Amino acid sequence: MRPTILFLTLIAPSKATLSPSTDSIIKHSWGDIPRGWTYHSTPPPDDTFELRIGLKQARIDELIDRLLEISDPNHSSYGKHLSQEESEALASCQPKALDETKEWLAYHGIDDSRVNHHQAGGDWLSLQVSIAEAERILSTQYHLFRHDASGETSLRTLQYSLPHHLHSHIDMVAPTTYFSTLRTMRKTSFLQPDIEPVDEVESLIDPIISSAASVIPLGCSYAITPSCLRALYNTTDYVPTAMSQNRLGVAGYLDQYANDADLQTFLKKFRKDAAGATYPTVQIHGGGNDQSIPGIEANLDIQYTIGMSYPTPNIYYSTGGSPPFIQDSTTTTNTNEPYLDWVTYILNQTTIPQVITTSYGDDEQTVPLEYAVRVCNSFAQIGARGTTLLFSSGDFGVGGGDCKTNDGTNQVLFQPSFPASCPWVTTVGGTTKVNPEVGVNFSGGGFSRYFDQPDYQANAVSGYLGGLGTKYAGKFNPGGRAYPDVSAQANRFQVVVGGHTMSVGGTSASSPTVAGIFALLNDYRLSLGLGPLGFVNPLLYSLGRNGSEFSGFNDIVSGSNPGCGTDGFAAARGWDPITGAGTPSFKRLQALVSK
C-alpha cells in the first residue's frame, strides 16, 4: 500500500530550509511482525552495526542496453566488453543523489569522514552507527526479533522512513525491515543415500555406444563422473591451451568449504591426468576456509569444475554474511546468500574469471524486490565485462512446500527461483539417464514474477507457451523471464567428502558441469585470438530454429518438473521450462563460437 502523505506542506521548502526529520515518509513497513518471528528484546542504544545505503543507478538502462549489444552476435559491438571503469560509470548514481544523501546524514550529525563510498556494483554508502543514531536517521525503532524455528535473533525494525526528496535517490537501506537469520542457506544439491557410491572406476571405463553415437562409459547409467560428462558432452578429446588467459570461478557461501585433500582423492579416482591440480580460495566478507569441515556443496562444485575444465585455472570464492530475507512456507529460515558482498568484491577486481558458477538459490518471493533488482543489475554489470554467470535452477520443480504467496493473500502459485529468474544470468536445469537424457523431475523451471521476459528469448518461449495453451493459467506469469536456459546431468554424481565417495544430486551438479564446458569454449576462442563469450543468452537463443531444436545442443523431449500439487511443466521439442535449450554438445558449439 502506498503511504499517504498528510504532513507535507503545500509548498516544498527550499534546500536551505529543508528539514530531513520533518518531511520524512515511510519507505517500507510491516503491518505486524512477520510470521515465524516474535519480539525478543530492545537492544542498548549504544550498540553499533553497519548501515548500508544503496543509491539509485542513474544509467542502469543504458548499461543493460550495452550488455545486450555486446552479447548479440548480429550486432556490430558483439564481443566489445566494457572495462571496469566503463561499467562503473554506467552503474553510478547521479551526483545530486550522493550529495543530498550525504547532506541528510550530516544533518543528523554523521560527519562525512564516517561515510564510506563504494562504487563497485553501483554506489553504496556504508557507515558504522549506534542504534540510537540509526533510529534518529530513519525515524524508526530497532528491536531484536527471535526466529521461532531456529532460535536465532536479528536486529530489525518494522518500518523506516526517508526524507521525501530522497525516495527518488535511494533504492534500499539495510538492515531495516527485511528479516533474516544466519542459518545455512539452501543449496541446490542433496545427498542420495539410497544410491551406492562408486568406489572402483572399472565399471566407468568399458564403453558402450549411445543413440547419439558417442562413446559413453558403461557405468554412466548408474553413476556420473567426469568421464561420463566429458563423453556425453563431447569434451574428452579437447586439450586446453589458453591457461594463462582463462579462469573459471566458483562462488560459495555460508560455511561451505572446498577441501584440498578431497579434491586430490577425487582426481586420483576419477580424473587421473588432473591429479595434483590446485585452486586458490579467496575469502570475502568473513568467508572461511576450514579444511577440517569439508562441504558437500563446495566439494561438488570444485571437483566437477576442475574435472571438466582441467588444466584451466579454477578459483573458489568463500563469502560470509547473510542478506535480507522474507519468509515463506518453503524457506522458513534465512537461506538467502549474501550476493551483494560477493558481487561488490568481484566488480572491484580489475580482472574477473570469464566463467563463474553458483549453485545456490531461493524462492523469488523470499527475496525483497528492491534487493533482487539491485543484485540482478550487478550481474548485468559483470556480464558486460565479459563474464558468463551460471546459476543452478533449483531442486523443487515449479515450487516446493505449499507454494502459498507470502503477501498476505496466500494464493497457491508456482514459485520461481532467484537468482535463476534474473534475465542477465544463464540458468542451468537438470537431466538424468544417458540413452537418451530426460529432464529430471526436480529440475527448477518456470517464469519470474519480478522480471519481464527479455526479447532474446521471446520467440523460443512463445513456441512452448503456444503448445501449453491454457494449462496452469493463473499459476504462473507467462510474460516473465523464463528459465532455465540450458541443462546438464543432475543425478548420481560421485563426490568425495571427508575421504569418502558419496552420491549427490541436484542442479548444483548441472551448473558446474556447464561452467566447465563454457570455460573450454572460452579457451578455444582465446586460442584463436578472440575474446570470451561473456553473457551468452542472446547467442544461445539465436541458435534456435523456428521454435524447434537449438544448434549446438541436445534437445531433451521427455520429463517433467512437478510441484505445487501439479505435474509441472513437461519437456518438449525446442525450449522448455525444465531443460531449456537442452544439454550442450561441445564440438558443435565449438564450430559455432569460432567467429
Q: Is residue 46 marked as binding?
A: no
In DSSP terms, 363 is beta-bridged to: 417
Residue 235, SS3 per DSSP: coil
Q: Is 417 a catalytic residue?
A: no
Q: Is 508 a catalytic residue?
A: yes
Write down the catalytic residue from 301, 328, 364, 437.
301
Helical axes 60-70 vs 84-91, angle rounded to 10° = 140
The enclosing H or E element of 391 equals strand 388-392
Contact criterion met (CB below 8 Å) for 344 and 492? no
CA 389 – CA 353 distance, rounded (Å): 10
Per DSSP, the residues of 459-487 read HHHHHHHHHHTTTTTTTS-TTEEEE-SEE
The enclosing H or E element of 261 equals helix 260-270
Write down the catalytic residue from 161, 417, 508, 511.
508
Per DSSP, the residues of 399-459 read --TT-B-TTTT--B----EETTT-TTSEEEEEEE-SSS-EE-TT---EEEEEEEPPGGGHH
Q: Is residue 296 marked as binding?
A: no
Whether the ω angle into residue 197 lies within 30 degrees of 0, i.e. cis, is no
CA 339 – CA 273 distance, rounded (Å): 35
Write down the catalytic residue from 88, 100, 133, 297.
297
Give the residue carrying C-alpha cell 521476459.
Answer: 453
The candidate with the shortest Cα–Cα distance to 578, out of 441, 405, 463, is 441
Q: Is residue 555 marked as binding?
A: yes
Q: Is residue 565 marked as binding?
A: no
Q: Is 301 a catalytic residue?
A: yes
In DSSP terms, 59 is beta-bridged to: none
The residues annotated as belonging to the active site are 297, 301, 508
> Residues within the annotated binding site?
555-556, 574, 576
As annotated, the binding site for Ca(2+) includes 555-556, 574, 576
